[in-house]
Chains A and B, each alone.
Chain A
Amino acid sequence: MTPAGAGTARENGAGKTAPATDGPILRIDDLVVELPGPHGTRTRVVDGVSFDVPRATTVGLIGESGSGKTMTAHAVLGLPPEGATLSGRLLWHGEDLLAADPARRRAVRGREIAMIFQDPLAALNPTQRIARQIGEVPRRDRLPRAEVNRRVVELLDRVGVPEPERRMRAYPHELSGGLRQRAMIAMALAGSPALLLADEPTTALDVTVQSRILRLLADIQAADGLAMLLVSHDLRVVSHVGERVVVMYAGRVCERGPARDVLRRPAHPYTAALVRSVPAVRTRTALADPLPGAPATPANRPAGCAFHPRCPMARARCRAEVPEVREVAPGRWSACHFAEEVPGS
């Protein structure tokens, strides 16, 4: 609602520092997404989220179901659900996309920022051959047909689809899950974007396929110098691909920083609990002491720190005061009043 960049943004520090030398490719600054709730209420499903995506870097966005990851990604692309209101700033190369006119936003989509969706079967049009869907962005440049087809074959080849000339004529349902996701990635790459938003790109896939797709994404990212925002609820995925992570809980950021540091030494009790609950595959780990209760949702977010009802360290202050995201160590940001006391940090 508020015009982007207006002074209403909460001071949470994110906007003040610009650690990357040449500036981040995308800076999300105090992003708020409100959705209409029941009885005319409005729910802040994304509440003051700020983080940067530096050039040629993969940022992992993790959090449990309903924490607002998808909503954040969609907001970046400018495709929130009907009736949503957005505020804050989305600085794309320093240009505020929220303030830009629709034509400009459309021009960015697909060309500069592309997206990969979770369920490739649902995200591909079932009545069109994949060649047509992949070629849609190149076709917008009024390239000759043969040229478009050549590009489609090239893209499919690039993402490791065998026999691209044949497969390009397939309908989505004629492909296996892995191939579909590859086609989806080819489609995202078709406009040579600078930032790739990948919303749970492997969740619907088998482990073996998942690892191959993740490797493919990492390869592409490295080769093209792409920036990538990888949305996932799976810590293991993010830990493998992400150089930085942002952890969300109930629509807010609770921690962000370099991936290895965050997962090794969490600076937020929620991150710590998440890391603890991931069992190892190759060694036998004991059952973790589970967090009590169910994850908070943006619709009924507890007062104060949203995590306090489940937090083993919660104190009176946590119940009353919403913690700011603050820099607790160089490059490490946490939204815990007592970040320094988190075990393992």
Chain B
Amino acid sequence: MSASERTLLDVRDLRVSYGGRRGARAAVDGVSLSVAPEETLGLVGESGSGKTTVARCVAGLLRPGAGTVTFEGRPLGRAGRRPPELQRAVQMVFQDPRSSLNPRMTVASIIAEVWRTHPVTAPEGDRTEALHRLLADMGLDPEVAARRAGDLSGGQCQRVSIARALAVRPRLLVCDEAVSALDVSVQAQILRLLVDLRGRHRLAMLFISHDLGVVHQIADRVAVMHRGLIVEEGRTGEVLTAPRHAYTRALLDAALDLDDPVPEDGTADGRAVV
């Protein structure tokens, strides 16, 4: 890597295996990747290829068997053992919108807990107002503050999850299939929101998805995982239009597009090609 000062997140030779002493299987078998500031890295691959495992190591939810995870050159330990500023720097958004929120807690108390845990990020002055501002940022009504996960739609839940993550002003957002469980029409809303916020908060993202189309839309670079290894990595356009690795090719071959309802120039239905 040309300049380590230009990397934000650096994962080196990560190895994780599940299943104790015997019957251990390497879920991640020597993965290295890096994310530059304000860059979005898409991580794609089939089910079981180890994407979530990488994400959990980065978030500190899992202790890697071997390898290092560093943030601006500082090692990231397990969540809860990190120094507060590192703890804040990396946040995560999960796949299942509803169970990402404690169903017993109101949105307000969820956010209040964040601020209690990291007092530096707590707003000065009127917290209710700050909360409403935060919710508005996420495209949510202020009245959502008093509700619990059960009373919110999937899209709203995911917005609250994002709000919770952003409340501590992170530098890197790990999104593990953050839109996969949503209906297509809502998926588009959340993607739009993420892209918006990425720009406004100068966020870097590790964006995990099995939907190549979505990754193509929002990732700067993409890494393709297969059986615990990264088999190909590069600029999104290059990898997804001219794959070099056989596995990537297979993945692309299998991926369906809408059965050609759109002329190649893409003008017919307003879906402009960028």
Chains A and B form a bound pair: yes
Name A's B-contacting residues (CB within 8 A). Answer: 64-65, 177, 206-208, 210-212, 233, 235-237, 239-240, 259-260, 263-264, 272-292, 294-295, 310, 343-344
Name B252's contact: one of A276, A277, A282 (CB within 8 Å): A282
Q: Let me know if B21 is at the binding interface, CB within 8 A.
A: no
5 contacts between A and B (CB under 8 A): A65-B183, A283-B273, A285-B213, A285-B217, A290-B185
Interface size class, chain B: 35 or more
Task: Report yes or no: B46 in contact with A278, Cβ–Cβ below 8 A.
Answer: no
Chain A residues within an 8 Å CB radius of B155: 294
Q: Let me know if B24 is at the binding interface, CB within 8 A.
A: no
Which of B7-15, B119-127, B264-272 faces chain A? B264-272
Q: Give the distance to chain B from A233, nearest Cβ to Cβ, in Å.
A: 7
Residue of A nearest to B241 (CB): A282
Task: Report yes or no: A285 in contact with B274, Cβ–Cβ below 8 A.
Answer: yes
Q: Give the distance to chain A from B119, nearest Cβ to Cβ, in Å.
A: 34
Interface positions, chain B 242-267, Cβ under 8 Å from A, are 250-259, 261-262, 266
Task: Report yes or no: B189 in contact with A275, Cβ–Cβ below 8 A.
Answer: no
Complex CA distance for A284 and B273, rounded to whole angstroms:
6
Name B272's contact: one of A277, A286, A291 (CB within 8 Å): A286
Complex CA distance for A259 and B260, rounded to whole angstroms:
11
Name A281's contact: one of B154, B218, B252 (CB within 8 Å): B252
Task: Report yes or no: B252 in contact with A273, Cβ–Cβ below 8 A.
Answer: no
Task: Report yes or no: A235 in contact with B154, Cβ–Cβ below 8 A.
Answer: no
Q: Give the distance to chain A from B273, nearest Cβ to Cβ, in Å.
A: 6
Known contacts A283-B266, A291-B185, A295-B185, A211 near B237 by CB under 8 Å: no
Q: Give the distance to chain B from A326, nearest Cβ to Cβ, in Å.
A: 23
Q: Let me know if B192 is at the binding interface, CB within 8 A.
A: yes
Q: Let me know if B231 is at the binding interface, CB within 8 A.
A: no
Residue of B nearest to A278 (CB): B258
Task: Report yes or no: B217 in contact with A284, Cβ–Cβ below 8 A.
Answer: yes
Q: Let me know if B195 is at the binding interface, CB within 8 A.
A: yes
Name B240's contact: one of A240, A281, A292, A343 (CB within 8 Å): A281
Complex CA distance for A6 and B273, rounded to whole angstroms:
52
Q: Give the distance to chain B from A268, nearest Cβ to Cβ, in Å.
A: 13
Complex CA distance for A84 and B254, rounded to whole angstroms:
39
Interface positions, chain B 123-174, Cβ under 8 Å from A, are 153-156
Q: Give the distance to chain A from B256, nearest Cβ to Cβ, in Å.
A: 4
Known contacts A207-B46, A277-B184, A277-B187, A285 near B258 by CB under 8 Å: no
Q: Let me know if B212 is at the binding interface, CB within 8 A.
A: yes
Task: Report yes or no: B259 in contact with A210, Cβ–Cβ below 8 A.
Answer: no
Q: Let me know if B26 is at the binding interface, CB within 8 A.
A: no
* Chain B window 222-244, contacts with chain A (Cβ cutoff 8 Å), 1 for yes, 0 for no: 00000000000000110011000
Task: Report yes or no: A206 in contact with B47, Cβ–Cβ below 8 A.
Answer: yes
Task: Report yes or no: B185 in contact with A284, Cβ–Cβ below 8 A.
Answer: no
Complex CA distance for A96 and B237, rounded to whole angstroms:
54
* Chain B window 194-216, contacts with chain A (Cβ cutoff 8 Å), 1 for yes, 0 for no: 01000000000000001111101
Task: Report yes or no: A284 in contact with B258, Cβ–Cβ below 8 A.
Answer: no
Chain B residues within an 8 Å CB radius of A343: 269-270
Q: Let me know if B191 is at the binding interface, CB within 8 A.
A: yes
| Known interface pairs A290-B185, A343-B270; 17 further A-B residue pairs with C-beta atoms within 8 A, sorted by A's residue number | A207-B254, A207-B255, A233-B183, A236-B259, A239-B258, A275-B261, A277-B184, A279-B217, A280-B262, A281-B212, A284-B273, A287-B192, A287-B195, A287-B217, A289-B188, A294-B154, A295-B183
